[in-house]
Structure 1
Amino acid sequence: MMVSVVEMLEIEPDIVQVKMQDRTHRNAFSKELIHGLNQSFELIRAHPRYKTVILTGYDSYFSTGGTQEGLLGIQQGSIKFTDDNLYSLALDCPIPVIAAMQGHGIGGGFVMGLFADFVILSRESLYTTNFMKYGFTPGMGATYIVPQKLGFALAQELLMNAGNYRGAELEKRGIPYPVVPRNQVLPHALELARQLTEKPRHSLMTLKEHLVAPLREQLSKTIQQELEMHEKTFHHEDVKKRISELYGS
């Protein structure tokens, strides 16, 4: 079925794929993508049979994070990143979510993937938490989930330096996730999904609920802290200038 620019595909009876394919915005957080993701995960939550979700993008893009319009809205104070709760979609999903990041994961797009239960990266693709490149401190729970998933030392570098890292480089840095050629990301995810679906659905849900409970508890505190940092860093004119320059307008 098609849900906006997000496609839901039942690969096998127990496995559903959620594919982001907003080619106009390169899977940035457009209104269409946000709506499609929220609607897709609502449908998954209501489905009585699914055991595993594979979240992926198209071609060389997984997700490229905030749009220029969205970032300027936050800079001007008309919206907050919490208005669209994309960062916790995978975390709040009752069944396991595999982020098959076959393409570039930029800013909030990369962070969104890290909230999944399982993460698979592409050797060729770029991954970055580039918030500070725009002059504002990270949001979307990045200051918690990036250190939690990748380790403090690497996360501090990613968050403060805001550089671009190929999957192959992150693999050399010892990240605890599979990094495979782009054309093998989805097959790898499907094999993992099949292993998960061998287990009873109620047991998968029960164990996930237990494992992510501490993440959910800490996330709410982190989000509040990030919003407070945004009040200090996001509303400067320099940030507005950086956003316009980096988006080429």
Structure 2
Amino acid sequence: MTDPILCTRDGSILTVTLNLPDKRNPVSDPAVIDALERALLAADADIGVRAVILTGAGSAFSSGGDLKAMKAGSGLRAPLPAQTRRNYREGIQRLPLLFHALEVPVIAAVNGPAIGAGLDLACMCDIRIAAENAIFAESFVKVGIVPGDGGAWLLPRIVGFSKATELALTGETIGADEALRIGLVSRVVPGGELMAAAREIADKIAANPPHAVRMTRRLLREGQTATLANILEMSAAMQSLAHATRDNDEAIDAFLEKRPPRFTGA
């Protein structure tokens, strides 16, 4: 049986690859959801993992849901609507909650089409870069459904309400250049350079003190919904923790001594 994802660790960087290329890497498959959850929770628990790169095997990043599994009585769609609700909650909706709760940064290296839930999966990540041939679509309306995996929450926070509404209500497909223009991705590179570009970003993140990186990531996520007063309170508490690390002292010493810092995660 094909592993639904592949995990490769290189130093402090973990690369997670969606590995159902024959199906264009759907993310609604329970095996994929379970495997992603296991891999990302393990990475989050390991302070030695400084960043995660998420990409897809084959020609697609992710086609989203498996349309063949959307026929009545199969996949998420149960004969009883109340059970369908439970299937979404216990299935694909675990992913946005998982990504939101992580502290380890995740970079989406979008190597090809990111369609429907595939686009939303990319939006769950902290940073998105795209190959020149990547395409994107919030295309749920094209198959008569709504974004069931949090896309209506995720996409407006990245591209703004008006553009997110346009993409979601038309279901249109956009290319990598347009994705860059609207801020959906932060960088577009030739396909052959995608993983190297993702690794470059990951290495820059990994060069910083890991506790400070993870707490900063947590603050950014909480800042999407919290009040300013709550974020300031949380920032003060986390700052007290950051000041107590040896990495904070090392950063200051290295700056004053004009040498590269050596961060250990302590």
Q: Contact (CA 8 Å) 2:130, 2:185: kept in 1 or not?
A: no
Q: Give the equivalent residue in structure 2 for 1:14.
A: 12
Q: Give the aligned CA root-mean-square deviation in angstroms.
A: 2.3
Q: Please, which runs of 5 or more residues in structure 1 have no aligned partner?
A: 219-249
Aligned mates of 1:40, 1:155 — CA distance in 2:
30
Matches within 5 A, 1:85-100: 85-100=94-109
Aligned mates of 1:3, 1:18 — CA distance in 2:
15
Q: Give the equivalent residue in structure 2 for 1:239.
A: none
Specify whether residues 174 and 146 from structure 1 end up closer, same or farther in structure 2 by C-alpha distance, changes over 3 A only.
Answer: closer
SS in 1 for 2:84: coil
Count residues in correspondence: 216
Spell out structure 1 runs of 4+ moving beyond 4 A.
Answer: 172-176
The structure with higher relative contact order (CA 8 Å, sep 6+) is 1
Max Rg structure: 2
Question: How far is 1:174 from its partner?
Answer: 5.5
Tell me, yes or no, if structure 1 residue 109 matches structure 2 residue 114: no
1:129-171, Cα deviation, whole Å (9 max, x unpaired)? 1111111222211112111111222211110000111212333
Aligned mates of 1:24, 1:217 — CA distance in 2:
41
Specify whether residues 88 and 185 from structure 1 end up closer, same or farther in structure 2 by C-alpha distance, changes over 3 A only.
Answer: farther
Look up the equivalent residue of 2:13 and give its one-letter code.
I
Find the partner of 1:178 among 165, 187, 199. 187
Look up the equivalent residue of 2:116 and give its one-letter code.
G
Aligned mates of 1:75, 1:179 — CA distance in 2:
40
Aligned mates of 1:39, 1:174 — CA distance in 2:
30
Look up the equivalent residue of 1:82 and give its one-letter code.
R
Look up the equivalent residue of 2:51 and give its one-letter code.
T
Q: Contact (CA 8 Å) 1:88, 1:115: kept in 2 or not?
A: no
What is the aligned-residue identity percentage?
A: 25
Look up the equivalent residue of 2:77 and give its one-letter code.
I
The normalised TM-score by structure 1 is 0.79
Q: Give the equivalent residue in structure 2 for 1:226.
A: none
Question: How far is 1:186 from its partner?
Answer: 1.2
Q: Give the equivalent residue in structure 2 for 1:137.
A: 146
Moved more, 103-112 or 145-154: 145-154
1:168-214, Cα deviation, whole Å (9 max, x unpaired)? 23334564521222222211110000100111111011111111014
Q: Contact (CA 8 Å) 1:122, 1:168: kept in 2 or not?
A: no
Aligned mates of 2:154, 2:127 — CA distance in 1:
13
Question: How far is 1:90 from its partner?
Answer: 2.7
Aligned mates of 2:38, 2:69 — CA distance in 1:
20
